[in-house]
Structure 1
Amino acid sequence: MSAVIDVDPDVTAPVVPTVPAARAGRRDRASRFGLPVLSVLVFLGLWQLAAASGIWNEIFVPYPRTVWNAAVDASTTHDGVRGYQGYLLVEHLYMTLRRVFAGVVIGVAAGVALGLAMGTVGWVRHVLEPWLTFLRALPPLAYFFLLVIWLGIDEAPKIALLALAALPPAAVATTTAVLAAPVTLIEAARALGAGRAQVIRDVVVPAALPETFTGVRLAVGIAYSSVVAAELFNGIPGIGGMVKDASNYNNTPVVLVGIFAIGFSGLVIDALLRAVERRAVPWRGKI
């Protein structure tokens, strides 16, 4: 006599990944973390070979260990000397990040507001677009000395320079995103009785957020690329000021320490922005 087992049709068995899928996932994770590490090791190996070849003087291509020692010296108090020029590396980095943060917040806020206005009001776009293009084409050093004349050599010209560097990419990205908002969704909202302000708030802004975040990331990158120029005058403490001062004395290891500090902190900030974007704009690519 055989037993009959009733199976509830509404209950589904848990999906168990197949062995090939699990292996593919492990390979993907290994490549995601392993390949960057491998690229760093290859870079350090090539750098060591270039320094040991003797083709270039050590002033121009120092050994990786020399740069590491310079980083340690800049981060500690040694032989009665505190860091570099009296400030630890973390203090230089903090001042640079503070300036970048202030400049990016001002520039991005102004850029997003301008982009929203330019994308929704035609005459505003026609008036401001040439000026925005003009500003975007200028290298930071072209107007930094003018900012120094106007604002002095303290923090104001540095923050103003970084804000002006961050404004155009944020404004252009927001304008493009607003103009590219799905017409079908806009018409549907209007058909349901939504007013202009409601359409902008509920349809245009959510649709524009993904590209706006891209513009913010670009703005941060451009501000970072301008930080050395922003810290040309009275830039110590600051990574840019440290790099400029070290370059005056052909102190290549300290220059490289500053470059790596800016680059690594930029990678961390970009990763944080991408994490915020994933949480704030989960609908990216779905509309």
Structure 2
Amino acid sequence: METNQQAVESNGMSIAIRLRQRALGTLANIYYSGKYLSILSVATILTAWFLVSYYGLANPIFLPAPESVIKTFWQVATVGYQGSTLLEHIGTSLYRILVAFLLACIVGIPLGVLMGTSRSAHRIFNPIIEFYRPLPPLGLYTLLVMWLGIGESSKLALLFLSGLPGIIIATIQAVTDINPNYIRAAKSLGAGRWALIREVYLPGSGPTILTGMRISLGFIYTVLVAAEIVAATAGIGWMIWDSAKFLLSDVVIMGLIVLGLTGMMMDQILKIFGKIFMPWTRIKRS
């Protein structure tokens, strides 16, 4: 009887081990197959684009063939568009994006912390932010041009204002979500206001602030074309706007692809920044 019982238990354990191994193998297969889903989706879009252009299902004026866009990319990169090469257009736009984004972070993060920790500050600044946040960029840009002129100042101001609310709102939410027990524990150890901000609020709210920074950067990219349509002579947004007036759809699509790729690159840099300076937390994939 004992031998039979031991055999049954051993058989049950072996079945459990095999089931566990099978489950782990299934999870591994899902993980490794998931790595290629992004590549598959991009390949599907490119294949559909090629087939539509190859069989003439779309007017080439509005949807040029992929090889036409590649040829335009090479031409703009080597010869240039309207007197500036592709690198010069990218450099001009990235300069505007980075300056506006850094200014939005420098102003937005401290202001968000202040509004999240002080009810008086929240009541003072929140109506202003909530008022201008839904304003359309072009409507706001007309006023900025009247105030600051048609130079770089109005462009940077528009990009700055478009990226500021996202950082402020994310910072306020991050600060208010801090566990009150951490704050009470720090106060019991004699931490003052600045020590609380430095040791409790900023470390605890870092991941959410980083998410707000990524969203803010996306808003700035969204408004770039609007910022570069007035009195600009270079920039990816201006190139897209200028080429659209002449129905140069290959240049438009090429410019949009460049904007998308540079935006993805900037977002990855922010993720790496978070992993380096906030190693105590993990940033969810998105």
Q: How does 1:179-258 map to 2 (within 5 A)?
A: 179-258=176-255
Deviation string 1:19-47 (CA, Å, 9 cap, x unpaired) is: 98689657634532x22222221111111
Q: Aligned partners of 1:264 and 1:19: how far apart in 2?
A: 39
**Residue 31 in 1 paired to residue 34 in 2?**
yes
Q: How does 1:46-57 map to 2 (within 5 A)?
A: 46-57=48-59
* Residue 168 of structure 1, aligned match among 165, 168, 181: 165
Amino acid at match of 1:63: A
Q: What is aligned with 2:88?
A: 91
Greater share of helix = 2
TM-score by length of 1: 0.86
* Alpha-carbon distance, 1:111 to partner: 0.9
Q: How does 1:8-23 map to 2 (within 5 A)?
A: none
* Residue 69 of structure 1, aligned match among 71, 76, 82: 71
Q: Aligned partners of 2:34 and 2:45: how far apart in 1?
A: 17
Unaligned runs of 5+ in 2: 1-20
TM-score by length of 2: 0.86
Change (3 A) 1:26 1:280: farther
Q: What is aligned with 1:113?
A: 110
**Residue 132 in 1 paired to residue 129 in 2?**
yes
Asked whether the 8 Å contact 1:232–1:244 carries over to 2, the reply is: yes
Q: What is aligned with 2:46?
A: 44
CA RMSD of aligned residues (A): 2.0
Amino acid at match of 1:28: Y
Report runs of 4+ in structure 1 exceeding 4 Å deviation: 18-27
Q: Aligned partners of 2:212 and 2:50: how far apart in 1?
A: 37
Q: Aligned partners of 2:41 and 2:47: how far apart in 1?
A: 10
Asked whether the 8 Å contact 2:88–2:234 carries over to 1, the reply is: yes
Deviation string 1:171-222 (CA, Å, 9 cap, x unpaired) is: 0000111111110110111122222222222111211111111111111110
Percent identity of paired positions between Structure 1 and Structure 2:
35
